[in-house]
Structure 1
Amino acid sequence: MLRSSHAFAALLAVALPTSTSAAAPRSFKGEYTVSFLGLSVAKATFSSSYEGDTYSIDGSVSSAGLATIFDDTRGTISSKGRILGAQLQPEAFRADYKSGKKTSMIDIQFANGAVTATKVVPAPRKRNPRNWIPLGANDLASVLDPMAATVIHADSLDKVCGRTVKLYDGEMRANLTLTHDSNGSTSVRGYKGDTVTCKMGFEPVAGYRKNRKALNYLKNRSRIMVTFAPVGQTGVYAPIHATVSTKIGTLTVSAERFEATE
Protein backbone atom coordinates (compact mmCIF):
# COMPACT_ATOMS: atom_id res chain seq x y z
CA MET A 1 0.00 0.00 0.00
CA LEU A 2 1.01 3.62 -0.23
CA ARG A 3 2.10 4.65 3.24
CA SER A 4 1.48 8.30 4.04
CA SER A 5 5.10 8.61 5.14
CA HIS A 6 6.30 7.26 1.80
CA ALA A 7 4.12 9.70 -0.12
CA PHE A 8 5.29 12.52 2.17
CA ALA A 9 8.93 11.72 1.43
CA ALA A 10 8.32 11.46 -2.30
CA LEU A 11 6.43 14.72 -2.48
CA LEU A 12 8.93 16.66 -0.40
CA ALA A 13 12.02 15.31 -2.12
CA VAL A 14 12.03 17.98 -4.80
CA ALA A 15 15.47 19.50 -4.44
CA LEU A 16 17.84 17.09 -6.14
CA PRO A 17 19.39 19.10 -9.00
CA THR A 18 22.31 17.14 -10.42
CA SER A 19 25.32 18.23 -12.45
CA THR A 20 26.40 16.00 -15.34
CA SER A 21 29.77 17.74 -15.49
CA ALA A 22 32.99 16.47 -13.97
CA ALA A 23 34.05 20.00 -13.10
CA ALA A 24 34.53 21.49 -9.64
CA PRO A 25 32.14 20.44 -6.87
CA ARG A 26 28.77 22.17 -6.95
CA SER A 27 26.16 22.54 -4.27
CA PHE A 28 22.52 23.63 -4.29
CA LYS A 29 19.94 24.63 -1.75
CA GLY A 30 16.19 24.14 -1.83
CA GLU A 31 13.63 25.27 0.73
CA TYR A 32 9.97 24.30 0.36
CA THR A 33 6.63 24.86 2.03
CA VAL A 34 3.84 22.31 1.92
CA SER A 35 0.29 23.59 2.29
CA PHE A 36 -3.10 21.90 2.40
CA LEU A 37 -6.36 23.78 1.83
CA GLY A 38 -4.31 26.97 1.95
CA LEU A 39 -2.76 26.25 5.36
CA SER A 40 0.94 25.52 5.88
CA VAL A 41 1.40 21.93 7.08
CA ALA A 42 5.10 21.18 6.52
CA LYS A 43 8.53 22.60 5.75
CA ALA A 44 11.43 20.96 3.93
CA THR A 45 15.06 21.93 3.35
CA PHE A 46 17.53 20.09 1.12
CA SER A 47 21.25 20.57 0.50
CA SER A 48 22.87 18.81 -2.44
CA SER A 49 26.51 18.43 -3.46
CA TYR A 50 28.02 17.06 -6.65
CA GLU A 51 31.60 16.17 -7.54
CA GLY A 52 32.65 14.38 -10.69
CA ASP A 53 30.17 11.61 -11.41
CA THR A 54 28.78 11.34 -7.87
CA TYR A 55 25.96 13.07 -6.05
CA SER A 56 24.78 13.23 -2.45
CA ILE A 57 21.91 15.02 -0.76
CA ASP A 58 20.72 15.53 2.78
CA GLY A 59 17.38 16.96 3.77
CA SER A 60 15.09 17.58 6.69
CA VAL A 61 11.31 17.72 6.81
CA SER A 62 8.94 18.69 9.57
CA SER A 63 5.26 19.37 10.06
CA ALA A 64 4.31 23.00 10.56
CA GLY A 65 1.39 25.18 11.54
CA LEU A 66 -1.84 23.48 12.57
CA ALA A 67 -0.49 20.12 11.42
CA THR A 68 1.73 19.92 14.51
CA ILE A 69 -1.39 19.73 16.67
CA PHE A 70 -2.57 16.54 14.97
CA ASP A 71 0.63 14.88 13.78
CA ASP A 72 4.02 16.31 14.75
CA THR A 73 6.29 14.65 12.17
CA ARG A 74 10.01 15.33 11.81
CA GLY A 75 12.56 13.49 9.77
CA THR A 76 15.71 13.38 7.70
CA ILE A 77 16.21 12.08 4.17
CA SER A 78 19.43 11.22 2.36
CA SER A 79 20.31 9.90 -1.06
CA LYS A 80 23.56 9.22 -2.89
CA GLY A 81 24.65 7.66 -6.14
CA ARG A 82 26.39 8.11 -9.44
CA ILE A 83 25.68 10.05 -12.62
CA LEU A 84 26.05 7.92 -15.74
CA GLY A 85 25.64 10.10 -18.82
CA ALA A 86 22.15 11.54 -18.61
CA GLN A 87 20.98 8.98 -16.06
CA LEU A 88 21.02 8.86 -12.28
CA GLN A 89 21.97 5.56 -10.70
CA PRO A 90 21.15 5.51 -6.97
CA GLU A 91 23.37 3.64 -4.54
CA ALA A 92 21.56 4.30 -1.26
CA PHE A 93 18.45 6.01 0.07
CA ARG A 94 17.41 6.45 3.68
CA ALA A 95 14.57 8.22 5.47
CA ASP A 96 14.31 8.43 9.26
CA TYR A 97 11.27 10.11 10.73
CA LYS A 98 9.32 10.39 13.93
CA SER A 99 5.60 11.00 14.12
CA GLY A 100 4.54 11.72 17.68
CA LYS A 101 6.19 8.93 19.67
CA LYS A 102 6.44 6.55 16.72
CA THR A 103 9.79 6.25 14.95
CA SER A 104 10.13 4.82 11.44
CA MET A 105 12.88 4.18 8.91
CA ILE A 106 13.23 3.26 5.24
CA ASP A 107 16.60 2.07 3.92
CA ILE A 108 17.13 1.06 0.28
CA GLN A 109 20.40 -0.23 -1.18
CA PHE A 110 21.16 -0.42 -4.91
CA ALA A 111 23.77 -2.00 -7.21
CA ASN A 112 24.03 -1.33 -10.96
CA GLY A 113 20.65 0.38 -10.95
CA ALA A 114 18.76 -2.44 -9.24
CA VAL A 115 17.51 -2.71 -5.65
CA THR A 116 19.56 -5.22 -3.65
CA ALA A 117 18.09 -4.72 -0.17
CA THR A 118 15.21 -2.90 1.53
CA LYS A 119 14.68 -2.45 5.25
CA VAL A 120 11.55 -0.84 6.67
CA VAL A 121 11.00 -0.18 10.38
CA PRO A 122 8.51 -1.02 11.71
CA ALA A 123 8.27 -4.05 9.43
CA PRO A 124 5.14 -4.17 7.23
CA ARG A 125 2.31 -6.32 8.47
CA LYS A 126 1.68 -9.69 6.86
CA ARG A 127 -0.07 -9.25 3.52
CA ASN A 128 -3.24 -11.00 2.42
CA PRO A 129 -2.28 -12.84 -0.81
CA ARG A 130 -5.84 -12.54 -2.09
CA ASN A 131 -5.63 -8.77 -2.57
CA TRP A 132 -1.90 -8.00 -2.50
CA ILE A 133 0.07 -7.35 -5.71
CA PRO A 134 3.58 -8.62 -4.90
CA LEU A 135 6.82 -7.32 -6.37
CA GLY A 136 7.98 -9.38 -9.34
CA ALA A 137 11.49 -10.43 -10.29
CA ASN A 138 11.98 -7.52 -12.69
CA ASP A 139 10.09 -4.82 -10.80
CA LEU A 140 13.16 -3.50 -8.94
CA ALA A 141 15.51 -3.16 -11.92
CA SER A 142 16.39 0.33 -13.22
CA VAL A 143 14.32 2.14 -10.60
CA LEU A 144 14.81 5.44 -8.81
CA ASP A 145 14.33 6.26 -5.14
CA PRO A 146 11.88 9.02 -4.12
CA MET A 147 14.58 11.70 -4.29
CA ALA A 148 16.26 10.73 -7.56
CA ALA A 149 12.85 10.27 -9.18
CA THR A 150 12.19 14.01 -9.02
CA VAL A 151 15.14 14.97 -11.24
CA ILE A 152 14.87 15.35 -15.00
CA HIS A 153 17.84 15.42 -17.38
CA ALA A 154 16.87 17.05 -20.68
CA ASP A 155 18.38 18.99 -23.58
CA SER A 156 15.93 21.85 -23.12
CA LEU A 157 12.91 22.97 -21.12
CA ASP A 158 10.61 21.74 -23.90
CA LYS A 159 11.94 18.18 -23.50
CA VAL A 160 11.37 17.83 -19.75
CA CYS A 161 7.92 16.26 -20.08
CA GLY A 162 7.11 13.27 -22.27
CA ARG A 163 8.67 10.49 -20.16
CA THR A 164 7.91 7.83 -17.57
CA VAL A 165 9.79 7.58 -14.27
CA LYS A 166 10.05 4.23 -12.45
CA LEU A 167 9.70 4.92 -8.71
CA TYR A 168 10.35 2.60 -5.78
CA ASP A 169 9.59 3.98 -2.31
CA GLY A 170 10.65 1.01 -0.20
CA GLU A 171 7.39 -0.88 -0.59
CA MET A 172 5.57 0.08 -3.76
CA ARG A 173 6.68 0.27 -7.39
CA ALA A 174 4.89 2.88 -9.42
CA ASN A 175 5.25 4.57 -12.79
CA LEU A 176 5.04 8.35 -12.93
CA THR A 177 4.15 9.55 -16.43
CA LEU A 178 4.88 13.17 -17.35
CA THR A 179 3.01 14.87 -20.19
CA HIS A 180 3.36 18.51 -21.24
CA ASP A 181 0.77 20.96 -19.95
CA SER A 182 2.12 24.51 -20.31
CA ASN A 183 5.10 26.84 -20.28
CA GLY A 184 5.46 29.82 -17.99
CA SER A 185 7.80 31.73 -15.72
CA THR A 186 8.35 32.29 -12.00
CA SER A 187 10.45 34.17 -9.49
CA VAL A 188 11.68 32.84 -6.15
CA ARG A 189 14.79 33.40 -4.09
CA GLY A 190 17.70 32.23 -6.23
CA TYR A 191 15.79 31.84 -9.49
CA LYS A 192 13.86 34.02 -11.90
CA GLY A 193 13.03 32.68 -15.32
CA ASP A 194 11.20 30.17 -17.49
CA THR A 195 9.41 27.04 -16.29
CA VAL A 196 7.52 24.12 -17.76
CA THR A 197 4.54 22.39 -16.17
CA CYS A 198 3.89 18.68 -16.66
CA LYS A 199 0.78 16.73 -15.79
CA MET A 200 1.78 13.65 -13.83
CA GLY A 201 -0.02 10.34 -14.15
CA PHE A 202 0.28 7.80 -11.34
CA GLU A 203 0.22 4.07 -12.09
CA PRO A 204 0.85 1.54 -9.29
CA VAL A 205 2.78 -1.49 -10.56
CA ALA A 206 3.42 -3.77 -7.59
CA GLY A 207 3.81 -3.76 -3.83
CA TYR A 208 0.29 -2.52 -3.06
CA ARG A 209 -3.18 -3.71 -2.08
CA LYS A 210 -5.78 -4.00 -4.81
CA ASN A 211 -8.90 -1.84 -4.67
CA ARG A 212 -7.36 0.62 -2.19
CA LYS A 213 -9.46 3.76 -2.50
CA ALA A 214 -6.59 6.22 -2.05
CA LEU A 215 -4.55 4.58 -4.82
CA ASN A 216 -7.53 4.34 -7.14
CA TYR A 217 -8.18 8.04 -6.65
CA LEU A 218 -4.54 8.94 -7.40
CA LYS A 219 -4.61 6.77 -10.51
CA ASN A 220 -8.00 7.65 -11.94
CA ARG A 221 -9.12 11.01 -10.62
CA SER A 222 -6.31 13.02 -9.04
CA ARG A 223 -4.87 15.97 -10.94
CA ILE A 224 -1.12 16.10 -10.26
CA MET A 225 0.79 19.04 -11.74
CA VAL A 226 4.54 19.58 -11.41
CA THR A 227 6.37 22.72 -12.53
CA PHE A 228 10.08 22.38 -13.33
CA ALA A 229 12.83 24.99 -13.52
CA PRO A 230 16.42 24.67 -14.78
CA VAL A 231 19.22 24.29 -12.27
CA GLY A 232 21.82 26.72 -13.58
CA GLN A 233 23.50 25.53 -16.77
CA THR A 234 23.70 21.86 -15.74
CA GLY A 235 21.03 20.55 -18.13
CA VAL A 236 19.04 19.37 -15.11
CA TYR A 237 15.50 20.40 -14.18
CA ALA A 238 13.98 20.11 -10.72
CA PRO A 239 10.47 20.81 -9.37
CA ILE A 240 9.83 24.33 -8.16
CA HIS A 241 6.07 23.93 -7.59
CA ALA A 242 3.65 20.98 -7.41
CA THR A 243 -0.02 20.37 -6.65
CA VAL A 244 -1.86 17.11 -5.92
CA SER A 245 -5.65 17.02 -5.74
CA THR A 246 -7.16 14.70 -3.13
CA LYS A 247 -10.72 13.78 -2.20
CA ILE A 248 -10.80 16.52 0.46
CA GLY A 249 -8.61 19.25 -1.02
CA THR A 250 -5.39 20.20 -2.79
CA LEU A 251 -1.88 19.62 -1.45
CA THR A 252 0.66 22.18 -2.69
CA VAL A 253 4.47 22.21 -2.56
CA SER A 254 6.14 25.55 -3.32
CA ALA A 255 9.81 26.49 -3.37
CA GLU A 256 10.78 29.52 -1.32
CA ARG A 257 14.45 29.13 -2.28
CA PHE A 258 15.92 27.47 -5.37
CA GLU A 259 19.54 28.33 -5.97
CA ALA A 260 23.14 27.28 -6.38
CA THR A 261 25.27 28.00 -3.31
CA GLU A 262 28.67 27.36 -4.97
Structure 2
Amino acid sequence: MLRPSHALATLLAVALPTTGFAATSPQSFKGEYTVSFLGLSVARATFSSRYDGDTYAINGTVSAAGIAKLFDDTKGTISSKGTISGQQMRPQAFRADYTSGKKASVVDIRFTNGGVASTKVVPEPGKRDPKSWVPVGDGDLRAVLDPMAATVIHADSLDKVCGRTVKFYDGEMRANLSLTYASKGSISVPGYKGDTVTCKMGFEPVAGYRKGRKALEFLKNKSRMMVTFAPVGQSGVYAPIRATVGTQIGPLTISARRFEAVE
Protein backbone atom coordinates (compact mmCIF):
# COMPACT_ATOMS: atom_id res chain seq x y z
CA MET A 1 0.00 0.00 0.00
CA LEU A 2 0.96 3.64 -0.14
CA ARG A 3 3.20 5.22 2.40
CA PRO A 4 1.46 6.86 5.41
CA SER A 5 0.91 10.30 3.86
CA HIS A 6 -0.53 8.78 0.67
CA ALA A 7 -2.59 6.26 2.61
CA LEU A 8 -4.42 9.12 4.36
CA ALA A 9 -6.03 10.07 1.05
CA THR A 10 -7.03 6.48 0.41
CA LEU A 11 -8.53 6.12 3.87
CA LEU A 12 -10.52 9.33 3.67
CA ALA A 13 -11.83 8.26 0.28
CA VAL A 14 -13.99 5.71 2.07
CA ALA A 15 -16.13 8.52 3.44
CA LEU A 16 -16.05 11.74 1.47
CA PRO A 17 -19.02 13.27 -0.38
CA THR A 18 -17.58 13.41 -3.89
CA THR A 19 -20.99 13.51 -5.45
CA GLY A 20 -21.41 13.59 -9.22
CA PHE A 21 -24.33 13.87 -11.63
CA ALA A 22 -25.34 15.67 -14.80
CA ALA A 23 -26.84 18.80 -13.27
CA THR A 24 -29.06 21.12 -15.25
CA SER A 25 -27.41 24.05 -13.48
CA PRO A 26 -24.17 24.37 -11.52
CA GLN A 27 -24.49 22.81 -8.06
CA SER A 28 -22.06 22.64 -5.16
CA PHE A 29 -21.72 20.51 -2.04
CA LYS A 30 -19.62 20.68 1.09
CA GLY A 31 -18.50 18.01 3.52
CA GLU A 32 -16.52 18.24 6.74
CA TYR A 33 -15.23 15.05 8.36
CA THR A 34 -13.48 13.89 11.51
CA VAL A 35 -11.37 10.73 11.65
CA SER A 36 -11.10 9.15 15.09
CA PHE A 37 -9.19 6.14 16.37
CA LEU A 38 -10.20 4.45 19.63
CA GLY A 39 -12.34 7.51 20.34
CA LEU A 40 -9.53 10.02 19.81
CA SER A 41 -9.52 12.52 16.94
CA VAL A 42 -6.60 11.86 14.57
CA ALA A 43 -7.49 13.73 11.36
CA ARG A 44 -9.86 16.23 9.79
CA ALA A 45 -10.91 16.88 6.22
CA THR A 46 -12.96 19.47 4.36
CA PHE A 47 -14.11 19.01 0.78
CA SER A 48 -15.93 21.20 -1.72
CA SER A 49 -17.45 19.75 -4.89
CA ARG A 50 -18.91 21.50 -7.92
CA TYR A 51 -20.93 19.97 -10.74
CA ASP A 52 -21.68 21.81 -13.94
CA GLY A 53 -23.39 19.95 -16.77
CA ASP A 54 -21.47 16.73 -17.33
CA THR A 55 -18.30 17.80 -15.50
CA TYR A 56 -17.23 17.65 -11.87
CA ALA A 57 -14.40 19.16 -9.82
CA ILE A 58 -13.53 18.34 -6.21
CA ASN A 59 -11.02 20.06 -3.96
CA GLY A 60 -10.18 19.37 -0.36
CA THR A 61 -7.75 19.61 2.51
CA VAL A 62 -6.79 16.99 5.07
CA SER A 63 -4.66 17.29 8.18
CA ALA A 64 -3.63 15.37 11.24
CA ALA A 65 -5.50 16.41 14.38
CA GLY A 66 -5.47 15.80 18.10
CA ILE A 67 -2.99 13.31 19.47
CA ALA A 68 -1.89 12.29 15.96
CA LYS A 69 -0.15 15.66 15.51
CA LEU A 70 2.31 14.65 18.19
CA PHE A 71 3.59 11.80 16.00
CA ASP A 72 2.96 12.80 12.38
CA ASP A 73 1.93 16.36 11.52
CA THR A 74 0.63 15.52 8.05
CA LYS A 75 -1.15 18.16 5.97
CA GLY A 76 -2.27 17.99 2.38
CA THR A 77 -4.57 18.89 -0.46
CA ILE A 78 -6.53 16.58 -2.73
CA SER A 79 -8.18 17.32 -6.06
CA SER A 80 -10.11 15.32 -8.63
CA LYS A 81 -11.87 16.23 -11.84
CA GLY A 82 -13.60 14.46 -14.69
CA THR A 83 -16.82 13.96 -16.60
CA ILE A 84 -20.07 12.11 -16.00
CA SER A 85 -21.54 9.80 -18.62
CA GLY A 86 -24.98 8.50 -17.70
CA GLN A 87 -24.46 7.04 -14.24
CA GLN A 88 -20.72 6.54 -14.68
CA MET A 89 -17.96 8.71 -13.30
CA ARG A 90 -15.06 9.11 -15.75
CA PRO A 91 -12.09 10.66 -13.94
CA GLN A 92 -9.57 12.73 -15.88
CA ALA A 93 -7.09 13.65 -13.16
CA PHE A 94 -6.44 13.00 -9.47
CA ARG A 95 -3.72 14.64 -7.39
CA ALA A 96 -2.73 14.51 -3.73
CA ASP A 97 0.03 16.74 -2.32
CA TYR A 98 1.23 16.13 1.23
CA THR A 99 3.83 17.27 3.68
CA SER A 100 4.70 15.20 6.72
CA GLY A 101 7.05 17.27 8.82
CA LYS A 102 9.57 18.48 6.22
CA LYS A 103 8.97 15.60 3.81
CA ALA A 104 6.81 16.30 0.76
CA SER A 105 5.00 13.67 -1.30
CA VAL A 106 2.80 13.65 -4.39
CA VAL A 107 0.43 11.23 -6.08
CA ASP A 108 -0.67 12.28 -9.58
CA ILE A 109 -2.91 10.04 -11.71
CA ARG A 110 -4.09 10.89 -15.25
CA PHE A 111 -6.87 9.04 -17.07
CA THR A 112 -7.82 8.55 -20.72
CA ASN A 113 -10.91 6.76 -22.07
CA GLY A 114 -11.81 5.36 -18.67
CA GLY A 115 -8.38 3.92 -17.92
CA VAL A 116 -5.17 5.08 -16.26
CA ALA A 117 -2.83 6.82 -18.71
CA SER A 118 -0.04 7.70 -16.25
CA THR A 119 0.87 7.63 -12.58
CA LYS A 120 3.45 9.76 -10.81
CA VAL A 121 4.45 9.12 -7.21
CA VAL A 122 7.04 11.29 -5.42
CA PRO A 123 9.22 10.09 -3.77
CA GLU A 124 9.34 7.08 -6.07
CA PRO A 125 8.61 3.74 -4.40
CA GLY A 126 11.62 1.64 -3.50
CA LYS A 127 12.71 -1.52 -5.29
CA ARG A 128 10.16 -4.35 -5.09
CA ASP A 129 10.97 -7.98 -4.41
CA PRO A 130 9.59 -9.83 -7.47
CA LYS A 131 9.01 -12.94 -5.34
CA SER A 132 6.50 -11.22 -3.06
CA TRP A 133 5.28 -8.17 -4.98
CA VAL A 134 2.13 -8.42 -7.12
CA PRO A 135 2.73 -5.97 -9.99
CA VAL A 136 0.03 -3.85 -11.61
CA GLY A 137 -0.62 -4.85 -15.22
CA ASP A 138 -2.19 -2.78 -17.98
CA GLY A 139 -5.39 -4.80 -17.73
CA ASP A 140 -5.71 -3.91 -14.04
CA LEU A 141 -6.01 -0.20 -14.82
CA ARG A 142 -8.99 -0.26 -17.17
CA ALA A 143 -12.34 1.17 -16.02
CA VAL A 144 -11.01 2.13 -12.58
CA LEU A 145 -11.84 5.05 -10.29
CA ASP A 146 -9.56 7.28 -8.25
CA PRO A 147 -9.98 7.56 -4.45
CA MET A 148 -12.44 10.44 -4.82
CA ALA A 149 -14.66 9.19 -7.64
CA ALA A 150 -14.76 5.74 -6.04
CA THR A 151 -17.06 7.01 -3.28
CA VAL A 152 -19.90 8.01 -5.61
CA ILE A 153 -22.98 5.80 -5.86
CA HIS A 154 -25.67 6.45 -8.49
CA ALA A 155 -28.89 4.63 -7.62
CA ASP A 156 -32.66 4.89 -8.04
CA SER A 157 -33.25 4.59 -4.28
CA LEU A 158 -31.60 3.73 -0.96
CA ASP A 159 -32.58 0.10 -1.58
CA LYS A 160 -30.27 -0.05 -4.61
CA VAL A 161 -27.15 1.62 -3.17
CA CYS A 162 -25.52 -1.61 -1.97
CA GLY A 163 -24.98 -4.71 -4.09
CA ARG A 164 -22.07 -3.56 -6.26
CA THR A 165 -18.29 -3.71 -6.61
CA VAL A 166 -16.07 -0.66 -7.14
CA LYS A 167 -12.72 -0.95 -8.96
CA PHE A 168 -10.36 1.32 -7.05
CA TYR A 169 -6.83 2.61 -7.77
CA ASP A 170 -4.89 4.87 -5.38
CA GLY A 171 -1.70 5.37 -7.39
CA GLU A 172 -0.01 2.21 -6.22
CA MET A 173 -2.55 -0.43 -5.26
CA ARG A 174 -5.50 -1.75 -7.28
CA ALA A 175 -8.30 -3.18 -5.19
CA ASN A 176 -11.97 -4.09 -5.42
CA LEU A 177 -14.39 -2.71 -2.85
CA SER A 178 -17.61 -4.73 -2.62
CA LEU A 179 -20.77 -3.34 -1.00
CA THR A 180 -23.49 -5.62 0.39
CA TYR A 181 -26.66 -4.54 2.19
CA ALA A 182 -26.56 -4.42 5.99
CA SER A 183 -29.37 -2.17 7.31
CA LYS A 184 -31.40 1.02 7.02
CA GLY A 185 -31.53 3.87 9.49
CA SER A 186 -31.54 7.63 9.87
CA ILE A 187 -29.06 10.32 10.86
CA SER A 188 -28.94 13.99 11.74
CA VAL A 189 -25.87 16.16 11.13
CA PRO A 190 -25.59 19.85 10.22
CA GLY A 191 -26.88 20.13 6.66
CA TYR A 192 -28.74 16.80 6.55
CA LYS A 193 -31.42 14.99 8.52
CA GLY A 194 -33.04 11.90 7.04
CA ASP A 195 -32.81 8.28 5.92
CA THR A 196 -29.61 6.30 5.39
CA VAL A 197 -28.54 2.86 4.25
CA THR A 198 -25.54 0.97 5.59
CA CYS A 199 -23.48 -1.42 3.47
CA LYS A 200 -20.89 -3.91 4.61
CA MET A 201 -17.72 -3.32 2.62
CA GLY A 202 -15.39 -6.06 1.50
CA PHE A 203 -11.78 -5.45 0.48
CA GLU A 204 -9.98 -7.49 -2.18
CA PRO A 205 -6.43 -6.48 -3.21
CA VAL A 206 -5.85 -7.09 -6.92
CA ALA A 207 -2.36 -5.76 -7.67
CA GLY A 208 0.24 -3.29 -6.46
CA TYR A 209 0.82 -4.88 -3.06
CA ARG A 210 3.17 -7.22 -1.20
CA LYS A 211 1.86 -10.73 -0.65
CA GLY A 212 1.59 -11.82 2.96
CA ARG A 213 1.37 -8.31 4.39
CA LYS A 214 -0.50 -8.68 7.68
CA ALA A 215 -2.41 -5.39 7.49
CA LEU A 216 -3.83 -6.29 4.08
CA GLU A 217 -4.64 -9.84 5.13
CA PHE A 218 -6.55 -8.45 8.10
CA LEU A 219 -8.54 -6.02 5.94
CA LYS A 220 -9.37 -8.78 3.48
CA ASN A 221 -10.25 -11.59 5.88
CA LYS A 222 -11.05 -10.21 9.33
CA SER A 223 -11.87 -6.50 9.27
CA ARG A 224 -15.45 -5.37 9.79
CA MET A 225 -15.97 -2.38 7.49
CA MET A 226 -19.31 -0.59 7.37
CA VAL A 227 -20.23 2.45 5.26
CA THR A 228 -23.42 4.50 5.75
CA PHE A 229 -24.76 6.42 2.75
CA ALA A 230 -27.17 9.36 2.58
CA PRO A 231 -28.80 11.02 -0.44
CA VAL A 232 -27.40 14.33 -1.65
CA GLY A 233 -30.39 16.50 -2.43
CA GLN A 234 -32.64 15.14 -5.17
CA SER A 235 -29.74 14.21 -7.44
CA GLY A 236 -30.15 10.42 -7.31
CA VAL A 237 -26.62 10.24 -5.95
CA TYR A 238 -25.64 8.83 -2.55
CA ALA A 239 -22.49 9.68 -0.60
CA PRO A 240 -20.93 8.25 2.57
CA ILE A 241 -21.81 10.10 5.74
CA ARG A 242 -20.16 7.68 8.20
CA ALA A 243 -17.76 4.74 8.01
CA THR A 244 -16.09 2.36 10.44
CA VAL A 245 -13.04 0.25 9.63
CA GLY A 246 -11.73 -2.46 11.91
CA THR A 247 -7.93 -2.53 12.14
CA GLN A 248 -5.51 -4.86 13.89
CA ILE A 249 -5.26 -2.51 16.85
CA GLY A 250 -8.76 -1.06 17.04
CA PRO A 251 -11.63 0.59 15.15
CA LEU A 252 -11.22 3.66 12.97
CA THR A 253 -14.29 5.88 12.52
CA ILE A 254 -14.91 8.57 9.91
CA SER A 255 -17.89 10.84 10.62
CA ALA A 256 -19.40 13.81 8.84
CA ARG A 257 -19.54 17.00 10.89
CA ARG A 258 -21.33 18.74 8.00
CA PHE A 259 -22.98 17.30 4.91
CA GLU A 260 -24.85 19.81 2.78
CA ALA A 261 -25.65 21.38 -0.55
CA VAL A 262 -24.51 24.99 -0.77
CA GLU A 263 -25.53 27.89 -2.98
Taking structure 2 as the reference length, what is the TM-score of the superposition? 0.98
Task: Specify the alignment match of 1:3 in structure 2.
Answer: 3
Query: Would you say the 8 A contact 2:6–2:98 is kept in 1?
Result: no
- In the alignment, the residues of structure 1 paired with residue 78 and residue 242 of structure 2 have an alpha-carbon distance, to the nearest angstrom, of 20
Query: Would you say the 8 A contact 1:31–1:46 is kept in 2?
Result: yes
Task: Specify every segment of 5 or more residues in structure 2 that has no aligned partner in the other structure, as ranges.
Answer: none
Equivalent residues in 2 for 1:194-209, closer than 5 Å: 194-209=195-210
Q: Deviations over 1:79-133 (max 9, x none)?
A: 0000000000000000001111111000000011100000000000011101110
RMSD: 0.9
Q: Secondary structure at the match of 2:138?
A: coil
Task: Specify every segment of 5 or more residues in structure 1 that has no aligned partner in the other structure, as ranges.
Answer: none
- In the alignment, the residues of structure 1 paired with residue 155 and residue 2 of structure 2 have an alpha-carbon distance, to the nearest angstrom, of 29
Q: Secondary structure at the match of 1:10?
A: helix
Task: Specify the alignment match of 2:21 in structure 1.
Answer: 19
For 1:12, give the aligned amino acid.
L
- In the alignment, the residues of structure 1 paired with residue 180 and residue 257 of structure 2 have an alpha-carbon distance, to the nearest angstrom, of 25
For 2:259, give the aligned amino acid.
F
Query: Would you say the 8 A contact 1:199–1:224 is kept in 2?
Result: yes
Query: Would you say the 8 A contact 1:20–1:235 is kept in 2?
Result: no
Query: Would you say the 8 A contact 1:34–1:42 is kept in 2?
Result: yes
- In the alignment, the residues of structure 2 paired with residue 104 and residue 42 of structure 1 have an alpha-carbon distance, to the nearest angstrom, of 18
* Post-superposition offset of 1:2: 4.3
For 2:91, give the aligned amino acid.
P
* Post-superposition offset of 1:46: 0.1
- In the alignment, the residues of structure 2 paired with residue 193 and residue 52 of structure 1 have an alpha-carbon distance, to the nearest angstrom, of 27
Task: Specify the alignment match of 2:143 in structure 1.
Answer: 142
- In the alignment, the residues of structure 2 paired with residue 32 and residue 167 of structure 1 have an alpha-carbon distance, to the nearest angstrom, of 21
For 1:19, give the aligned amino acid.
F
- In the alignment, the residues of structure 1 paired with residue 66 and residue 198 of structure 2 have an alpha-carbon distance, to the nearest angstrom, of 28
Task: Specify the alignment match of 1:226 in structure 2.
Answer: 227
* Post-superposition offset of 1:6: 3.5
Q: Deviations over 1:226-250 (max 9, x none)?
A: 0000000001000000000111111
User: How many residues align structurally?
Assistant: 261
- In the alignment, the residues of structure 2 paired with residue 2 and residue 197 of structure 1 have an alpha-carbon distance, to the nearest angstrom, of 27
For 1:93, give the aligned amino acid.
F
- In the alignment, the residues of structure 2 paired with residue 3 and residue 227 of structure 1 have an alpha-carbon distance, to the nearest angstrom, of 27
* Post-superposition offset of 1:3: 3.2
Aligned structure 1 segments of 4 or more residues deviating by more than 2 angstroms = 1-7
Task: Specify the alignment match of 2:237 in structure 1.
Answer: 236
Task: Specify the alignment match of 1:36 in structure 2.
Answer: 37
Query: Would you say the 8 A contact 1:2–1:208 is kept in 2?
Result: no
Q: Secondary structure at the match of 1:46?
A: strand
For 1:17, give the aligned amino acid.
T
Q: Deviations over 1:188-219 (max 9, x none)?
A: 01000000000000000001110001100100
For 2:9, give the aligned amino acid.
A
Query: Would you say the 8 A contact 2:80–2:148 is kept in 1?
Result: yes
For 2:11, give the aligned amino acid.
L
- In the alignment, the residues of structure 1 paired with residue 78 and residue 234 of structure 2 have an alpha-carbon distance, to the nearest angstrom, of 26
- In the alignment, the residues of structure 1 paired with residue 238 and residue 247 of structure 2 have an alpha-carbon distance, to the nearest angstrom, of 26
- In the alignment, the residues of structure 2 paired with residue 92 and residue 242 of structure 1 have an alpha-carbon distance, to the nearest angstrom, of 25
- In the alignment, the residues of structure 2 paired with residue 178 and residue 24 of structure 1 have an alpha-carbon distance, to the nearest angstrom, of 31
For 1:33, give the aligned amino acid.
T
Q: Secondary structure at the match of 2:25?
A: coil
- In the alignment, the residues of structure 2 paired with residue 216 and residue 3 of structure 1 have an alpha-carbon distance, to the nearest angstrom, of 17
Query: Would you say the 8 A contact 1:186–1:192 is kept in 2?
Result: yes
Q: Deviations over 1:39-98 (max 9, x none)?
A: 001110000001000000000000011110011000000000000000000000000011
